[in-house]
Structure 1
């Protein structure tokens, strides 16, 4: 049920979605130190499946597809993105992983050149350059002002940055599929295929979770599902270009959770680099064409999520 354009409702729901994404990343960070990445991603997909079904039922549940191979490829890339996110949050401070995930729009522009044969404007090239300067500032600033993150391995930053690129590729695949497929069909096949793929790999990587771990894993899936529902409702309430900037609330939540839950105090470099990356993202959002609609599936973000 699409809403009339309600900016306040859309902004509130999107900010709330980023909170649940930050919470699930914190739980993935906790479980990532003892459980295998594939196991975490399996439970995330399994327990978010009911929420995906709820979204699909509201929009008309359609599993019939003429592009099954497209859904398989999209799910494989999405799975890689989720795995990279878990690896990144396990090894990086939450705020740094979050800010590096905001490079996705930058990679979207770069990938659109060979894959979509687009020619970015000068403004977009400037935004890309500024954004990647921010990445260099964030990655080179570990240990600045004694923030204690000098032991973070360099490859973890590479994984977080790579997740931005893979996330951009996922978004591009969703756009291509959505030319012929309903967004609910894409979401359902993603959830089914990701759950099945990680279930098949589970016997080879299984570590028996403790009761506390299991509670965390259930919450990870539930929070991923809730974030997806909230994000879907947010983009049904108002235009992406209007409420898009509120997606950056995720950095505030990640910084707060990292500080209160893990004793992570962001350094000056993280804030300066974050401002450059977010500034470039906001600049691009302002100049984005209205066709950008299909950003309702994952965060990461994180589901990203990210």
Structure 2
């Protein structure tokens, strides 16, 4: 295991993970007109498994599947599947930059859901940051940044944006469940059970949406799984190398990747509404991170 508090290693791993996740999203968007998003989800989970098993084999750690909290993994995999489904569907109708910007709503919903789930008290500072984040969502929507280059009807775009925001809700639930599981389970165990169970969940729905992919599409779908698996491992390594609070700012670099790839590959030039709204959401997320870090420091002094 890497040493904790190695910020340089953690930052490099986080930067690599965000870049790969954005490349994965671009590949998903590239096949979305021909392949149902649920079929893409199956390939994403199924072909991430070889990466996980290679990691286990290299470390000769075959006890990763041992767990006393199987129901917790099932619930976590379910919320993860719902979050991934919302994300993949949003990619079918929204430009890459808009979809990426709306995924940043997760910290806002984590703050809100920590009240009923964890019994936390949220003060005026964090509530203000949450409000600022939702203003950012409205700026993206009202600025019509999501309409540029998509060629989609207004109602479809509206549904896509709503689903993208719901992805933040499901991701927030997943985050809180992972916090609970990580008290007794290793990160590798959580990730491995996530991939196995999400593959099983999507396999159940696969016969209803299956379209035999062409050879080129099949290659892309396999790469979606492999790239996603490597990115997930890098993300896990990042959090094993440094504290989450130190890595938070680096995770927002995905907006830069998504703007660049969306512009070059899909000719989706982000509007000023998208840029301004994404900026507000990022600022709100970073401020929430700052407040959590400050609260943690105060608890250590008590």
TM above 0.5: yes
The structure-2 alpha-carbon separation of the partners of 1:148 and 1:4, relative to structure 1 and needing over 3 Å to count, comes to closer
Name the residue aligned to 2:95: 93
The structure-2 alpha-carbon separation of the partners of 1:275 and 1:260, relative to structure 1 and needing over 3 Å to count, comes to same
Name the residue aligned to 1:68: 70
The structure-2 alpha-carbon separation of the partners of 1:33 and 1:182, relative to structure 1 and needing over 3 Å to count, comes to same
* Alignment match of 1:238 (pick from 242, 260, 267): 242
Decide whether the 8 Å contact of 1:56 with 1:185 is kept in 2.
no
* Alignment match of 1:140 (pick from 139, 142, 147): 142
Give 1:55 deviation, angstroms: 4.3
Name the residue aligned to 2:216: 212
Deviations 1:83-108 (A, max 9, x none): 11110011001000001000000000
The structure-2 alpha-carbon separation of the partners of 1:229 and 1:59, relative to structure 1 and needing over 3 Å to count, comes to farther
* Alignment match of 1:120 (pick from 119, 122, 138): 122
CA distance in 2, matches of 1:261, 1:279: 28
Decide whether the 8 Å contact of 2:28 with 2:91 is kept in 1.
yes
Name the residue aligned to 1:159: 163
CA distance in 1, matches of 2:231, 2:3: 18
TM-score (norm 1): 0.89
CA distance in 1, matches of 2:38, 2:225: 13
* Alignment match of 2:255 (pick from 251, 258, 276): 251
Give 1:6 deviation, angstroms: 2.8
The structure-2 alpha-carbon separation of the partners of 1:129 and 1:100, relative to structure 1 and needing over 3 Å to count, comes to same
Give 1:191 deviation, angstroms: 1.0
CA distance in 2, matches of 1:291, 1:84: 32
Matched, 1:179 2:183: yes
Name the residue aligned to 1:23: 23
Unaligned runs of 5+ in 2: 297-302
Root-mean-square deviation (Å): 2.1
TM-score (norm 2): 0.90
Unaligned runs of 5+ in 1: 293-306
Deviations 1:248-294 (A, max 9, x none): 000000000100000000000011111100001111112224999xx
Name the residue aligned to 1:295: none
| SS across alignment from 2:292 | coil
